[in-house]
């Protein structure tokens, strides 16, 4: 969109927050870049230039606006919705792959050469993988500076900088302030010992209460809980574990993170955003779904529905197997036993979280007779964990969605319901669809649609590419029907 100069100018003049994250406005006269909705006086059009990413603006020598804080705007919805190389790379960069494995590691994960990845990202986002990762480190550093009392040397290490000098230079360059002054201007905002509190922005509208209620309805005790109006869960992270608390508020989600290693901060934030689908474009989704007279009243009643995703693709895939052809209560019972027997113990000083969900590597090494599951379900689960542990199947943020679908479908015990559930929740495919799901068929019957899977799939073509969002409305209808 940043290439459409006139459209970008109109968005800036109208201070349209829907475009935050889609592009960034740089002002040649002040050398500052902003989000489109910046509350300041809009610059003259002849002084504007537009960039597809904050990293591209920083690389061109612009610094972040202190008023609208463009680095904290929601991410572009394209990065999660699309399935091409550039979008997969952006999801992996947000997941910290470049910081942990460098650009060669990113390229290897994607299955392309370093040169191909760099060329594609430069063409798409105006910056290469190192610049994009650097912009993310700068944002993490600012969060730590403003929300903790850590010494700056520890902030630099936690944010992923190789030296205190690089940290100081980057903060000055991006925010036009030295780290100490940035902290002084922010004031004291700490949330308590060991806790980082921040706001996760999103594009309006959003049915946050409905989304969190969906997550609360399927909690696995010990791994997740609903406590005092917040959804809380444990996180498995590269340098340790964490606990996230997510609570809806006006215009944002209040996120509190307790981490054993602050180097995992950016990754924890990215996974929480992904879990709640915060980078979605609800206007585009609702406009498309409203084109169907059947769905239009549902969209008007609850605009901005999101698709609940996951913080760990492998965990959700295993839970999908445990839930095959079972009620929510029965699936929860299986998962709870699995967690108690094989999950890693964690300490939660303020709640009832006790475990991380067991990893595929752990379950792959367990004696099958130790798994308290029906034999068929056990064999299906073991086939999945073996493929996940060996890397034969990838259901992470940067996975090739169609390849993952094909390999999942080839596993014993995997039908369309399980594959599409994993595609929707773990792989984040916005067009995943389950025409044979009992809840979807019940809703279709109530709305006067055919319950035949083929006919329903044909009708759903009008909802594309947002059929996963359409299913959220249909499930809501089925939940209101008498049992």
Which segment of 145-149, 229-233, 389-393 scores lowest on mean pLDDT?
145-149
Q: What is the pLDDT of residue 147?
A: 83
437 in active site:
yes
**Is 286 an active-site residue?**
no
Looking at domain 195-276, does it have CATH number 3.90.1150.10? no
Question: May I ask the CATH architecture of the domain 78-147+149-186?
Answer: Orthogonal Bundle (1.10)
- In this predicted structure, the answer to whether residue 192 has a pLDDT above a threshold of 70 is no
pLDDT at position 398 is 94
Does the structure show a pLDDT above 60 at 247?
A: yes
pLDDT at 386 over 60: yes
Mean pLDDT along residues 118-135: 95
Could you give the residue range(s) of every CATH 3.40.10.10 domain in the chain? 5-70
- Give start-end residues of each CATH 1.10.10.60 domain in the chain: 78-147+149-186
What pLDDT band is residue 148 in, cutting at 50, 70 and 90?
confident
What integer pLDDT is reported at residue 436 of this predicted model?
92
pLDDT on residue 80: 82
Q: Where in the chain is the domain with CATH 3.30.310.20?
A: 195-276
Mean pLDDT of the chain: 94
- Assign 75 a pLDDT band (cuts: 50, 70, 90): confident
**E-strand spans in 338-422?**
344-345, 355-356
H-helix or E-strand containing 91?
helix 85-94
Of 25-34, 181-190, 353-362, 435-444, the one with minimum mean pLDDT is: 181-190
Give me 173's structure tokens. 């360059």
Beta-carbon contacts of residue 431 (< 8 Å; ≥ 6 apart)? 464, 465, 466, 467, 468
What's the pLDDT at 28?
A: 96
- What share of the chain in percent tops pLDDT 70? 98
Orientation angle between helical segments 328-342 and 313-322, nearest 10 degrees:
120
Q: Given a cut of 80, is residue 193 above it in pLDDT? A: no
Collapsed DSSP state (helix, strand, coil) of residue 101 = helix
Looking at residue 261, its pLDDT comes to 93
Mean pLDDT of 205-213: 93
Predicted TM-score (pTM) of this structure: 0.92
pLDDT value, residue 372: 87
- Find the catalytic residue in 8, 34, 68, 207: 34
- CA 456 vs. chain centroid, Å, equals 29
Say whether pLDDT at 190 is over 70: no
Neighbours of 369 (CB within 10 A): 7
- Contact between residue 35 and residue 21 where contact means Cβ atoms under 8 Å apart: yes
**Annotation: CATH topology of 313-425:** Endonuclease III; domain 1 (1.10.340)
Query: Coil, strand, or helix at residue 60?
Result: coil
Phi-psi region for residue 228, left (φ > 0), alpha (ψ -120 to 50) or beta?
left
Residue 456 has pLDDT above 70, yes or no: yes
Question: 5-70 has which CATH code?
Answer: 3.40.10.10
Average pLDDT over residues 69-98: 90
Q: Which of 286, 312, 431, 437 is catalytic?
A: 437
CA separation for the pair 359, 155 (Å, rounded) = 30
pLDDT on residue 189: 55
Residue 384 has pLDDT above 90, yes or no: yes
Q: What is the pLDDT of residue 482?
A: 85
Portions of the chain given CATH number 1.10.340.30 = 313-425
Percent of the chain whose predicted confidence (pLDDT) is above 90? 88
pLDDT at 417 over 80: yes
Q: What is the pLDDT averaged over residues 468-476?
A: 97
Q: Does residue 15 carry a pLDDT above 70?
A: yes
pLDDT at 483: 66
């Amino acid at each position: 969109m940043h290439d459409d100069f006139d459209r970008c100018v109109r968005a800036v003049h109208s201070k349209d927050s829907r475009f935050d994250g889609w592009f960034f406005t740089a002002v040649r006269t002040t050398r500052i870049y902003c989000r489109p909705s910046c509350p300041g006086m809009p610059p003259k059009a002849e002084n504007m230039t537009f960039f597809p990413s904050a990293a591209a603006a920083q690389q061109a020598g612009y610094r972040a606006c202190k008023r609208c804080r463009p680095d904290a705007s929601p991410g572009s919805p394209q990065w999660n919705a699309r399935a091409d190389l550039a979008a997969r790379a952006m999801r992996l960069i947000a997941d910290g792959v470049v910081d942990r494995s460098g650009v060669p590691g990113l390229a290897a994960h994607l299955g392309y050469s370093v040169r191909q990845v760099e060329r594609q990202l430069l063409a798409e986002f105006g910056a290469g993988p190192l610049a994009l990762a650097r912009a993310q480190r700068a944002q993490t550093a600012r969060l730590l500076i403003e929300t903790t009392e850590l010494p700056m040397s520890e902030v630099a290490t936690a944010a992923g900088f190789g030296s205190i000098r690089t940290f100081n230079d980057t903060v000055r360059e991006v925010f036009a302030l030295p780290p100490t002054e940035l902290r002084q201007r922010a004031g004291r905002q700490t949330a308590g010992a060991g806790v980082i509190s921040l706001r996760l922005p999103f594009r309006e509208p959003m049915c946050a209460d409905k989304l969190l209620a969906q997550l609360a309805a399927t909690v696995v005790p010990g791994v997740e809980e609903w406590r005092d109006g917040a959804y809380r869960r444990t996180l498995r992270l590269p340098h340790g574990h964490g606990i996230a608390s997510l609570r809806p508020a006006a215009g944002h989600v209040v996120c509190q993170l307790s981490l054993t290693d602050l180097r995992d901060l950016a990754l924890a934030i990215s996974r929480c955003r992904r879990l709640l689908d915060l980078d979605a474009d609800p206007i585009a989704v609702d406009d498309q779904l409203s084109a169907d007279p059947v769905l239009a009243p549902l969209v008007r009643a609850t605009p901005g529905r999101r698709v609940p995703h996951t913080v760990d693709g492998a965990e959700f895939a295993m839970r999908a197997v445990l839930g095959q052809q079972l009620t929510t209560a029965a699936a929860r019972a299986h998962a709870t036993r699995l967690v108690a027997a094989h999950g890693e113990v964690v300490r939660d000083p303020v709640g009832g979280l006790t475990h991380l969900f067991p990893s595929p590597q752990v379950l792959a090494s367990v004696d099958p007779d130790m798994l308290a599951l029906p034999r068929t379900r056990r064999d299906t689960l073991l086939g999945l964990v073996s493929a996940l542990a060996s890397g034969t199947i990838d259901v992470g943020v940067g996975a090739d969605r169609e390849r993952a679908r094909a390999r999942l479908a080839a596993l014993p015990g995997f039908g369309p319901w399980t594959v599409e559930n994993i595609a929707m929740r773990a792989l984040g495919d916005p067009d995943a669809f389950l025409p044979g799901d009992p809840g979807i068929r019940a809703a279709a019957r109530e709305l006067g649609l055919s319950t035949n899977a083929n006919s329903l799939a044909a009708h759903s073509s009008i909802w594309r590419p947002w059929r996963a969002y359409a299913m959220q409305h249909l499930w809501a209808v089925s939940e209101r029907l008498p049992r």
